[in-house]
């Protein structure tokens, strides 16, 4: 993009010359930060779609347990939040039992009473109301107990941390870009104070002079944001590829959806608007100070 022909030689100011590379660096950092945030969000959403596993135990006599098990299975398989419900085979139960009962819990008649177990997979949304789900089961079989739901995966925990840190850091970078643009604009305005006074004597309004700084910031930010966005996306894709090669399962689950790429594409747009608005605001305030 060619430099605009402005009445103020802003491109020759040292601070203004470096503004483009400042925008490049800050855009790169912002894109990488928000990319980490949306990647964490994608990992959290993917983990949230996985079913949660719970185990039901029916500790009653064998003659009643079979009937209770069938009632529970019929009830569970009709529920929309239950993905599947299958009884644990007796051969596996024998392997899980402790041949030495605890003191005070000796089985009657020398027989060890094994509970009937049912493995249940629930939709993620059902975990939030697991107590109500257990209460409904107890209405059918009062002796049933529901084990704890399977805990969130490591990927889910890391994804939540990455989402919070990435988005927070991205917002901070955008704020730094705005403050940096204000400082650069003030410096350029001070260095061109004589030229600004000359333009005013020639009839130029403050709006016209501020427009000079705004257009210069706009063109500079467009170039810098485009370069920074391209560099940030390439850096993020390189990190993702390394994570997939050497990061094990976590790297394999970093998969951005189209909506995430749309959000990332808004980062350079926000950067350009922020830099331009900051330059305009700083120019108006600086011109009012120079009156």
Packed helices 258-289 and 154-191: angle between N→C axes, nearest 10 degrees: 30
For the stretch 90-114, what's the b/e string if a residue is b when 16 or more beta carbons lie within 10 angstroms of its beta carbon? eeeeeeeeeeeeeeeeeeeeeeeeb
Listed in sequence order, the residues at least 6 apart from 169 whose beta carbon sits closer than 8 Å to its beta carbon are 29, 33, 36
In this structure, are strands 52-58 and 144-146 parallel, antiparallel, or unpaired?
A: antiparallel
Give the mean pLDDT of 234-244.
81
The rounded distance, in Å, linking the Cα atoms of 6 and 212 is 6
Scanning the structure block, which residue is given the tokens 């945030």?
Answer: 37
* Cα angle 64-67-73, degrees, rounded to a multiple of 5: 135
Percent of the chain beyond pLDDT 70? 75
At residue 275, the pLDDT reads 93
Give the pLDDT confidence of 107-139 residue by residue, as tens digits.
444 444 567 788 888 776 666 677 787 888 888
Give the mean pLDDT of 2-8.
60
The rounded distance, in Å, linking the Cα atoms of 103 and 171 is 60
In this structure, are strands 82-87 and 116-122 parallel, antiparallel, or unpaired?
A: antiparallel
Give the pLDDT confidence of 173-217 residue by residue, as tens digits.
999 999 999 998 888 887 877 877 787 788 778 788 888 888 888
Q: Are 182 and 3 in contact (CB under 8 A)?
A: no
The rounded distance, in Å, linking the Cα atoms of 201 and 195 is 10
Q: Where are the alpha helices (DSSP H) in the chain?
A: 14-48, 62-77, 90-96, 130-140, 154-191, 193-201, 206-246, 249-252, 258-289
What is the CATH number that goes with domain 51-96+107-146? 3.30.70
Closest CA to 233 of 32, 24, 39, 42: 32
Q: Are 23 and 224 in contact (CB under 8 A)?
A: yes
Report CA-CA distances (Å) from 172 to 4, 34, 249, 273.
Answer: 30, 11, 30, 16
Q: Are 116 and 57 in contact (CB under 8 A)?
A: yes
Q: Domain spans of the chain?
A: 10-47+154-289, 51-96+107-146
Give the pLDDT confidence of 148-172 residue by residue, as tens digits.
666 555 566 777 888 899 999 999 9
């Amino acid at each position: 993009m060619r430099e605009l022909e402005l009445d103020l030689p802003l491109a020759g100011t040292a601070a203004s010359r470096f503004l483009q590379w400042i925008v490049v660096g800050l855009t790169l950092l912002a894109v990488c930060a928000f990319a980490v945030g949306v990647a964490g969000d994608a990992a959290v959403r993917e983990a949230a779609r996985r079913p949660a596993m719970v185990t039901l135990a029916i500790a009653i006599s064998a003659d009643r347990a079979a009937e209770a098990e069938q009632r529970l299975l019929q009830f569970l398989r009709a529920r929309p939040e239950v993905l599947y419900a299958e009884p644990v085979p007796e051969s596996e139960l024998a392997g899980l039992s402790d041949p030495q009962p605890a003191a005070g819990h000796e089985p009657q008649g020398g027989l060890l009473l094994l509970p009937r177990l049912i493995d249940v997979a629930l939709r993620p949304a059902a975990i939030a109301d697991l107590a109500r789900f257990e209460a409904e089961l107890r209405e059918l079989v009062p002796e049933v107990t529901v084990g704890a739901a399977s805990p969130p995966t490591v990927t889910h925990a890391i994804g939540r941390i990455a989402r919070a840190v990435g988005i927070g850091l991205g917002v901070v970078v955008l704020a730094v870009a705005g403050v940096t643009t204000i400082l650069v604009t003030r410096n350029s305005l001070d260095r061109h104070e004589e030229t600004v006074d000359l333009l005013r004597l020639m009839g130029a309004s403050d709006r016209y002079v501020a427009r000079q700084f705004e257009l210069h910031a706009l063109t500079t930010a467009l170039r810098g944001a485009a370069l920074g966005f391209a560099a940030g996306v390439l850096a993020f894709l390189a990190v993702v590829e390394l994570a997939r090669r050497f990061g094990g399962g976590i790297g394999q689950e970093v998969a951005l959806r189209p909506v995430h790429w749309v959000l990332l594409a808004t980062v350079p747009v926000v950067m350009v608007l922020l830099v331009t608005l900051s330059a305009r605001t700083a120019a108006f305030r600086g011109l009012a100070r120079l009156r």
